[in-house]
């Protein structure tokens, strides 16, 4: 978006936060504030307080790095370096403001607090630019602005499905008065067989689902990364908007998209397998499909079902595709890992299988593909062009799926690791998913 376009777009919550003048202005204001906080008169400041602020910021950064990456370890791959850097900058700004406080007037203290806040805002903005979680204020406020609808659970006695050799678009005619947009609902999907305690799922039903006769639409299961929530695909990924745009070009047709929980809580990592950490493979391969067929009208058969995800969710999609190929005939792996992990293989095997490596190898996707071929499975591998952590792993996965006989594609997206890749990635892959699941040619 150009500055001129921004000037005439009056709703501030739609202004871009990851590119254009706003993040650049925040960056300039933040560095200016940091400089003003660092420059002060007086021998005591330069000999004692400034070195103390620098030492405090460095110590806090080191402690935070040890606590997060070495002790808590919520991210198997560790915090990205740019995140660690901007956390250190934010801590420096806060420390400089704190050490300047004692000798300032009330007005000066308020200014120091404001300057520290600007440095913190700058650091947050730069992390957001790297990860792309909030491209605009509207997306950032989505949990409060987005509205969901009651799920359409009634069954229509008349349905439309394609005959052999045809796709659904070949035999579908949109009736008059079809809604322009689909619906998003939040529903619990119990772990009846798995026993897994999942958070509520998000379900997207396209406009064509409201028609009578009702087309038997394919199903795409999307899982988020870790840390994450089932609603991330809607609230951050805006997948419902991408699906509505796709439906508008295909007479209301789009996949049913189910976004279940494979984590149990935002920071938890279940490894997306059946283990001591939870029977998540059973949940996604049996409980979720059973719930869909019980409550919705959808196409059946592995050729009509696909699973996809991003980051840890991409690894999860790969796992389900090779460990439950009777359920999912295709999968989308965006920026996933080459194996499920909690850090090291030893840590992973110990936590999931009490150190039994054979049990891990039995479900590790690359190990499975080394023993078995999947000529009837289609794969899409997507990763950021500058993603130094995950691109080599995705290249390894791509070669493995080719060696296993899959029909595969490999796409590079501009950017690194985050929604800056996942959001446009799902838009690019929707036509492929629709083709693989028999919706369009």
State the pLDDT confidence band at 8, using cuts at 50, 70 and 90: low
101 and 240 in one domain? Answer: no
Residue finishing a domain among 131, 166, 200: 131
| 41 domain-assigned | yes
160 and 69 in one domain? Answer: no
State the pLDDT confidence band at 5, using cuts at 50, 70 and 90: low
169 and 119 in one domain? Answer: no
Residue finishing a domain among 131, 163, 191: 131
Q: What is the pLDDT of residues 267-307, one digit of tens each?
A: 899 999 999 999 999 999 999 999 999 999 999 999 999 99
Residue finishing a domain among 66, 100, 131: 131
73 and 175 in one domain? Answer: no
- Domain residue limits at 19: 3-131
CATH of the domain at 292: 3.40.50.1820
| 87 domain-assigned | yes
| 142 domain-assigned | no
365 and 262 in one domain? Answer: yes
| 63 domain-assigned | yes
Q: How far does Cα 353 stand from its chain's mean position?
A: 27
Q: What is the pLDDT of residues 105-162, one digit of tens each?
A: 999 999 999 999 999 999 999 999 998 889 998 888 888 888 899 999 889 999 999 9
379 and 290 in one domain? Answer: yes
Global pTM exceeds 0.85: yes
pLDDT at 159: 96
Mean pLDDT across 38-55: 91
| 145 domain-assigned | no
173 and 99 in one domain? Answer: no
Q: How many domains does the chain have?
A: 2
Residue pair 260/221 in contact (Cβ under 8 Å)? The answer is: yes
Lowest mean pLDDT among 7-11, 54-58, 294-298, 418-422: 7-11
167 and 47 in one domain? Answer: no
392 and 339 in one domain? Answer: yes
160 and 76 in one domain? Answer: no
357 and 253 in one domain? Answer: yes
Number of Cα atoms under 13 Å in the Cβ half of residue 224? 29
């Amino acid at each position: 978006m150009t500055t001129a376009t921004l000037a005439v777009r009056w709703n501030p919550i739609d202004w871009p936060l990851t590119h254009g003048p706003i993040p650049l202005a925040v960056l300039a204001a933040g560095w200016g504030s940091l400089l003003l906080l660092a420059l002060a008169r007086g021998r005591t400041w330069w000999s004692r307080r400034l070195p103390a602020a620098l030492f405090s910021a460095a110590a806090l950064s080191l402690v935070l790095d040890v606590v997060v990456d070495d002790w808590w370890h919520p991210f198997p791959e560790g915090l990205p370096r740019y995140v660690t850097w901007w956390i250190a900058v934010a801590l420096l700004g806060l420390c400089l403001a704190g050490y300047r406080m004692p000798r300032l007037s009330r007005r000066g203290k308020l200014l120091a607090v404001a300057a520290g806040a600007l440095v913190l805002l700058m650091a947050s903005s730069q992390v957001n630019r790297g990860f792309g979680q909030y491209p605009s204020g509207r997306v950032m406020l989505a949990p409060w602005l987005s509205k969901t609808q009651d799920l359409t659970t009634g069954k229509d006695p008349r349905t439309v499905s394609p005959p052999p050799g045809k796709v659904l678009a070949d035999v579908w005619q949109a009736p008059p008065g079809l809604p322009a947009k689909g619906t998003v609902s939040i529903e619990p999907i119990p772990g009846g067989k798995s026993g897994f305690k999942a958070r509520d799922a998000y379900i997207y039903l396209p406009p064509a689902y409201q028609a009578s006769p009702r087309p038997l639409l394919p199903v795409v299961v999307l899982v988020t990364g870790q840390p994450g929530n089932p609603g991330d695909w809607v609230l951050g990924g805006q997948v419902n908007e991408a699906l509505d745009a796709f439906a508008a070009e295909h007479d209301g047709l789009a996949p049913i998209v189910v976004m279940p929980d494979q984590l149990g809580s935002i920071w938890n990592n279940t490894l997306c397998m059946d283990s001591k950490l939870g029977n998540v493979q059973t949940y996604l391969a049996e409980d979720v499909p059973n719930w869909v067929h019980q409550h919705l009208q959808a196409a059946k058969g592995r050729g009509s079902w696909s699973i996809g995800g991003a980051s840890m969710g991409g690894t999860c999609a790969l796992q389900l595709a090779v460990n439950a190929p009777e359920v999912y005939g295709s999968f989308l792996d965006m920026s996933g890992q080459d194996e499920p992990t909690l850090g090291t293989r030893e840590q992973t095997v110990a936590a999931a299988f009490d150190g039994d490596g054979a049990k891990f190898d039995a479900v590790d996707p690359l190990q499975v593909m080394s023993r078995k071929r999947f000529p009837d499975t289609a794969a899409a591998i997507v990763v950021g062009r500058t993603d130094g952590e995950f691109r080599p792993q995705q290249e390894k996965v791509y070669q493995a799926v080719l060696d296993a006989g899959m029909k595969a594609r490999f796409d590079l997206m501009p950017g690194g690791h985050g929604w800056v890749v996942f959001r446009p990635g799902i838009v690019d892959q929707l036509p492929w998913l629709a083709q693989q699941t028999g919706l369009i040619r």
